[in-house]
């Protein structure tokens, strides 16, 4: 049986510090074969950088998925062109830097990690994530028999879109895990066809604010309809959201998904 930890959106420095405090002990406890994290908010809430990726790899993360902030940072194309295990959503327009899926080998197993981006309530007109999933799974250069697990990160705003994609990929992928909203949902399940699903894994970031951003500015935005600057605290109580998944490598089917929520004080 393969054990996998998937970590929700890492939000800013406080999120990275929480990873460093919690993940090593969690790995000792659960002994995962692979650790994946959504990293699109790692660099102060907006995108990721080479230093933040290396920092989190040293903390024990193997692979980084992404989202709508995938191109927020300067020189991000250089990062995507490197050999680092960082992917961006596959349904960005053709020709965009980076790759939308990754074949990752570890401990004698091959994993196929796919990143997709929702379109409902999102700011750009991305390609269809449903058709892009079909395209990747039908790729003749990818022999499905060689993979021990196929994991999808569906980064989307709308609950319905994430649930729909979970049903669409049911039985064809080992897990379809929602990210983006920073709020963990309570619907984790393994389907009869063996796909682990959760609408949103949640986040790693400031616990007592508004989805990781200082609440005062967010409240003022709602009161005035004038957008305030997003401020991410670097200290205080942090929340760590993730899911633990067990997958049979022979069948590529999941047998278990369990949500994990922990808190830690960052000083």
Closest by Cα among 231, 236, 114, 134 to 175: 114
d(CA 126, CA 90): 10
pLDDT at 56 over 90: yes
Write out the two tokens for 238: 């942090």
Q: Which residues participate in catalysis according to the annotation? A: 69
d(CA 23, CA 15): 11
User: Is the domain defined by 2-206+237-266 classed in CATH 3.40.50.360?
Assistant: no
Backbone angles phi, psi at 242, to 5 degrees: -160, 175
Question: Residue 142: what pLDDT?
Answer: 87
pLDDT at 143 over 90: no
Per residue in 162-211, pLDDT tens?
Answer: 999 999 999 999 999 999 999 999 999 999 999 999 999 999 999 999 99
Q: What average pLDDT score do residues 128-140 get? A: 96
What are residue 247's DSSP bridge partners?
2, 254
List Cβ neighbours of 246 (8 Å cut-off, separation of 6 or more): 1, 2, 3, 4, 254, 255, 256, 257
pLDDT band of 145, cuts 50, 70, 90: confident
Q: Is the pTM of this model over 0.85?
A: yes
Backbone angles phi, psi at 69, to 5 degrees: -95, 15
What percentage of the chain reaches a pLDDT higher than 70? 100
pLDDT at 144 over 80: no
| CA distances, 85 to each of 35, 62, 63, 142, 264 (Å) | 11, 7, 5, 18, 27
CB 3 within 8 A of CB 26: no
Closest by Cα among 204, 223, 232 to 39: 204
CB 150 within 8 A of CB 170: no
Residue spans of beta strands (DSSP E) within 46-168: 63-65, 101-106, 109-117, 149-155
Domain ranges of the chain: 2-206+237-266
pLDDT at 125 over 80: yes
Closest by Cα among 115, 85, 79 to 100: 115
Closest by Cα among 132, 131, 133, 177 to 156: 177
Question: Residue 75: what pLDDT?
Answer: 86
Query: For 192, what's the count of Cα atoms within 13 Å in the CB-facing half-sphere?
Result: 0
What percentage of the chain reaches a pLDDT higher than 90? 95
Q: What average pLDDT score do residues 2-15 get? A: 98
């Amino acid at each position: 049986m393969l054990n996998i930890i998937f970590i929700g959106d890492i939000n800013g420095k406080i999120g990275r510090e929480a990873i460093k405090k919690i993940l090593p002990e969690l790995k000792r406890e659960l002994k995962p074969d692979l650790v994946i994290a959504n990293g699109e908010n790692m660099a102060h809430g907006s995108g990721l950088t080479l230093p933040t990726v290396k920092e989190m790899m040293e903390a024990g993360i193997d692979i980084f998925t992404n989202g709508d902030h995938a191109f927020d940072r300067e020189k991000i194309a250089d990062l995507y062109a490197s050999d680092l295990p960082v992917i961006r959503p596959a349904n960005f327009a053709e020709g965009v830097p980076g790759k939308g899926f990754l074949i990752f080998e570890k401990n004698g197993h091959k994993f196929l990690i796919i990143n997709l981006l929702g379109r409902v309530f999102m700011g750009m007109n991305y390609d269809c994530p449903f058709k892009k999933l079909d395209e990747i799974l039908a790729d003749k250069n990818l022999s499905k028999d060689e993979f021990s697990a196929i994991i999808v990160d569906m980064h989307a705003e709308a609950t319905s879109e994430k649930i729909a994609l979970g049903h669409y990929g049911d039985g064809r992928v080992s897990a379809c895990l929602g990210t983006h909203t920073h709020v963990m949902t309570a619907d984790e399940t393994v389907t009869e066809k063996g796909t682990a699903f959760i609408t949103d894994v949640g986040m790693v970031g400031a616990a007592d604010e508004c989805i990781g951003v200082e609440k005062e500015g967010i409240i003022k935005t709602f009161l005035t309809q004038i957008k305030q600057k997003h401020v991410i605290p670097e200290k205080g109580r942090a929340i760590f959201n993730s899911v633990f998944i067990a997958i049979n490598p022979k069948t590529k089917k999941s047998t278990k998904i369990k949500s994990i929520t922990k808190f830690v004080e960052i000083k």
